[in-house]
Amino acid sequence: KAGVTQTPRYLIKTRGQQVTLSCSPISGHRSVSWYQQTPGQGLQFLFEYFSETQRNKGNFPGRFSGRQFSNSRSEMNVSTLELGDSALYLCASTRQGEQFFGPGTRLTVL
């Protein structure tokens, strides 16, 4: 069974731009969570989707948003990028409470 996939793997953007990241969960998994990892703040929860509904949201500004499609694939969007948004963005899909992570998207904001 294929694992969690994320695209793109690397991304370079400039301040003020917006970006969309994609995550495809393991087949059959309906819950997708997103996390941001930075050297200063560590791994922080962004939001979680289940059956196209956002069930939980972390403490991030409204510039961070997401959605989930009927096939469970999820996207997250960051608008008006700031330098501090440079990070590794990880998504995870969940089976019976256990989360499985994708390889991440490394975003650099210049």
Contact residues: other proteins, CB under 8 A: 31, 33, 35, 37, 42-45, 48, 50, 55-56, 58, 88, 90, 92, 94, 97-104, 106
Q: How far is the CB of 79 from other proteins (least distance, A)?
A: 23
What is d(CA 88, CA 105) in angstroms, rounded to the nearest whole number? 6
CA dihedral 80→52→57→34, nearest 10 degrees, is: -70
Residue 78 or 104: the one with the smaller Cβ distance to other proteins is: 104
For other proteins, the closer CB: 16 or 61: 61
